[in-house]
Every structure is written in C-alpha cells, then in structure tokens.
Structure 1
C-alpha cells in the first residue's frame, strides 16, 4: 500500500473543510451565548484606566503583572475604536493566535517529516481542544500558555534529536516560550525540564547558555522585567509586596478535584501499548509522549499555583486531552486506515465526557448591559 493511498481521505477534502467550518461556527455561537467573563471585564477596565494615564496603585489595583491585561490590548482597541463587544473581540483575537500557532506547528512537523496523517490528527485535535475544552475560558491567560508551549515543545524535541531548525524559527519559538513564563512564572518548570535534560544528555553547560534558544528565552524575560520596572514601578514597590502577603494568608481553592483530568494522560499511555511500534507509528508515539510529559509538568505547575479555578486547568487538561485524542486516533487509523473515523471517534468520546461544557451561564459572568453600565 503506497503512502498516498494510506493518507487518502474517504470524503472529499472540501467537504471536510466545510464540516470543520460548520463546527467552528457552531462553537463560536455557543461561546458568544455566554455572558462576558468578569475577568475580561476587569482587564478591559485596567486597560482603559492605564491608557488614560492611570497607575497600579491609584487607579486600578490589579494583583497580576501588567502583561495580564496588556495581552488584551488588540481586543480592547477593537472595542474602543470600532465598538466590537469584548467577547467578539477576544474570539477574533485568539482565533488569529490559534492560526499563527498552528502555522508554526505545521512548520515544525514539515521539518521533522511528519506524515500527512499525523499533521491532520494534530491540527484537528488542537482545534477541538482549543475550542470545546476551553469553553467559557476561551481567551484566558492559561489558554494562551497552553498554545505557546506547543511549538516551544516541538522546538526542544527537534534540538534534542539534533534536527536542523532555521534560526529565525528558533528565535520566534523561544520568545513565545518566554512570554508563556512571563504570563505565569511557575510554568518555568517546563523550560527548566528541557534545559536540564539537555544538560544531562550533553554535559555542556556553556553550550546551552550560548545557544540561540536559551539566549532568546532569557532575553524575553529580562526585557519584560525591565519594562515593568520602567513603566510600572509601583507594581514592584507597592503591589507585589502586598500581593505576596495576601496570598500567603489566603486560603486556596481546592485543586485536587480537577487533577482527575489527568486520567486522560494515563489512558493515552495505555492506548499506546496497543499500537505496534513501527517506522510509521514513531511520530505518533513521540507526539503523544511529549504531550503526556507536558500535561504532567503543567499539572505540577497548576498544583503549585494552589488556585483551583477551572481555567487554571486548561494547560494540563488540554495537553492530556490532545494526548488521548491522538493515541486513540493512532490506534484506529493504523487498524482501519480510515482517516475520518480516526479523527471523529476520539473527538466524539471526549465530547460525550464533556457535553455540558458549552451550556449554561456560569457565575462570574456579565451580560452585555452589565458590562456597558
């Protein structure tokens, strides 16, 4: 059987594209049915006051560093200049980010000679996870962290495997990883694990320190710290000490119930035991194991944060769900060679587990009128 035959869709590609488009439109309608998240309402207020000349200490008391609200500047500008309601602006803004991340991921998969089947599986699983599983938390900072670490991980996989990667791609990807850590520093655990592995494998600290990816990653963090110091001095002088004292006394929300999502990573590992290890399945196994590793590291970071909101679970839950979808995808595809079934069945299984995720109006959301008032 030729590779062309093995990778052929049963349904015409335009029809599959249409189905994907219908799903995205359907999901977008469900997302826009939610009231505006109060987090977004507050972050837009911070931007409004900051752009009007306000400061942390006197005009908006935001406990997180400035990147937490500056991230949403494009969506805020859509609202302030064109009157685009924040939910729609965030939907558009993160859709663009999703597309850009998918393009970078595809670039890495082409460099690593991933077969067309794996490319399809990865992209379709990403589309489902970044929409349905994020649900009302679509566009949260944790959602962005989930997205940014995907190409960053692919970069490190290539470096560890001694693959040739264009320098500009390494720099861009390292900056993305650096931004993810700037958003939530406890996710430094992920890059640190990669660099520790490379140090143990190569036993050459100087080589790692002088590598393009490490320099770009560290410079991203240093530039951000300098930016905060120059533009938001009251954050370091006033807000941060008070925040550290506040969170030191604050009782955390329960975090352990959401760790049950990690059962998807365990299931993905068990499924791989039934997928025969061949030249064709090596990319599948590599991808699933990388996602399982990411989910474990992200779960540790989530636990360390000690705040059990659902949106905090998006990184480790998203990686675990992608690992499960791709593992089941591989098991079905290498048994049946029907690509559509391989993509649809895992998604349907996840959908049945999470069918209530896009319904109802969770507490902590604002109606359009409430936000405008």
Structure 2
C-alpha cells in the first residue's frame, strides 16, 4: 500500500513537470471541483492576448484555440484587471464585451467565471494563464466557487513553475551533452582529419615526378577537405552557433586542439570584440589560423604559440605567432602553396595575408579582411 502511494505521488509529480499535462489536468480539476459543466484554461500568447487551449466538458470545438485579447469577454476582463470576473448569463451580461457571443452560444454556455493564474514569484503578481468555469444554464457562481477556482489557479501556477524548472533543467542537460559531443568530435575526428591532411601534403612534396599518384593524392586531399567542412558544419550545429558568430569559438577550438595534439603551449587571445562576419569571411579567417598552426606543426620547433584576433583598420585581423626556429621565409606573402592560396582568397575579399620572419627567430602569419558591406 505504501509503495502504491509512492508510485501515485511519483506519477502526479511527473504530470505537473509537463506544462501541457498540467494545464489539461487543471481544466479537468476545475470541472470536478467547482461542479461546472465545462472547465477550460487559456494560456497567454503575449502580454495582451490569451488563447483557450485546454478544455474539459466541451461539446463542440467553438472555443478551441479561441484568441481572447485584453478587455474582451470574461477572460479579457480578467486579463485587463488581474482579478476574477463572473457573469450569470454570458449573452445578456452588460458588464462584458460580446465579441465571442457566437462561440459561447454555439457551445451552449451561460453562467461563467474566470480567475487569473498568477505567478507570484518576485514582486508584482503576473498573470500567466486564465482558468474558466462555466454552466449551461443561467445562474450565479458564488464566492465559494470563486475561492475554489482561485485555489485551483494557485495549484496550476505552482505546476507551471515546476514545469518551467524541469524544462530548463532538460535544456541544460541537452546543451551539456551537445557540448560533450562537440568536444569529442573535434578532438577525435577533427584531429584525425588534420593529421591525414598533413600527411597528404607531405606526400605531395615527395612524389612530384609521379603525376598519376599526385592526382590520386589531390583527390584524397579534396575528400579530406570535404570531410573537414562537413565536420565543421556538424560542430557548428552542435554548438548552436551560426557561422557568422562562430569565429572566436572556432579559433579557440583550433588553438586548443593544436596544443592537445602537439604538446606545444598555445593560447588564443581576443584583443577586443569584433562585429559578426559573414560565412565566407569567417571561413577565410579560420583557414588562416589552421594554416598557421599547420606550419608551426610541420616546420617550427616552437616553445609556444599565440593566436590573436581583433578589430583593425575597419576590418578584422587574425595573427598566428610562434617563437620557433622554423625554415627561413622571405618577407611578403610567404613561399608556401597554402599561404599563397590564402593570400589570393583574401585579395578577392579586399584583404591581405602575409608570412614574415620575426626578429627573435619565430614566424608570424597575419591576415586582415575588411568588414562586409552593410
């Protein structure tokens, strides 16, 4: 018997943790407790309008999804005043407006009472829904009936708060799982694709006298690039971040992944906030960071790497700087195929890319792009 009672309490708790179930149950409770022929609940759809969505005891669909603006009918009066309203005969009542006479007559209702479902958390009570009770003949809902309906409204308000907490907890759990999946994919699949890309590029340099094998490697490199793009889209979806707003997040992720993969301390520094970039510019700047980190991994014996980003000259600049002793390069756009390709892409967008040897022996890859036209 005790176990049965606990199971019933569990089922009741799970029911109120769902907003729809809670409000549908409120409509049933109104009918049973107040002794009305019909009980129904309207949910707020904005600050000035309620929508009747949950009904019990109705014979037609006249009231289903009926929109009730503030001040109109019994429910609109409750919405306007924030207190109960009642009529002994809806159609003939002089105290309400009559925009909904056709629907009420079609449902066959007469006496009606409505009370606000109030959220009392915080300061001033706020109406979050409306509870109605109705009879199919003229009559009076007394003070006891109003108090009973207000008691039901208080229970409904509690149920709505619990449902909101449960929904927020669920959303937080889903977000945490998405972040876990994103991190796992980035660190495993992303690192693997990056490694394959590095090996393919190295092979290109060693088989230049074999056109057939070179062609196959280029196809493989294209496939790896496509897979990387697909992974990037999946990671953006999991992070719930649009491509235009993903730039700092993605650069930070690439920096963190480089450090985990190579064991070289690397940090990302955002010098100041930057305006959102369109998808093409975002992809371009991310590609610069990836190329810079790739060059460090392949050529530099770096002790540390710093990736920075910030606004600069009506545009956005990213810099990948290492303190290694990599291969000598000439000042300018760099001598590597990857850097030259990036410089060409940047030029098409009105920007520029440069790779220079620093005075202390390290290398700095720098890219600047103008902001998109608005």
Query: Which band: TM-score by shorter chain?
Result: under 0.3
Larger % of helix: which? Answer: 1
Structure-1-length-normalised TM-score:
0.21
Output the TM-score relative to the length of structure 2.
0.21
Relative contact order (C-alpha < 8 Å, sep 6+): which is higher? 1
User: Which structure's residues are more often strand, by fraction?
Assistant: 2
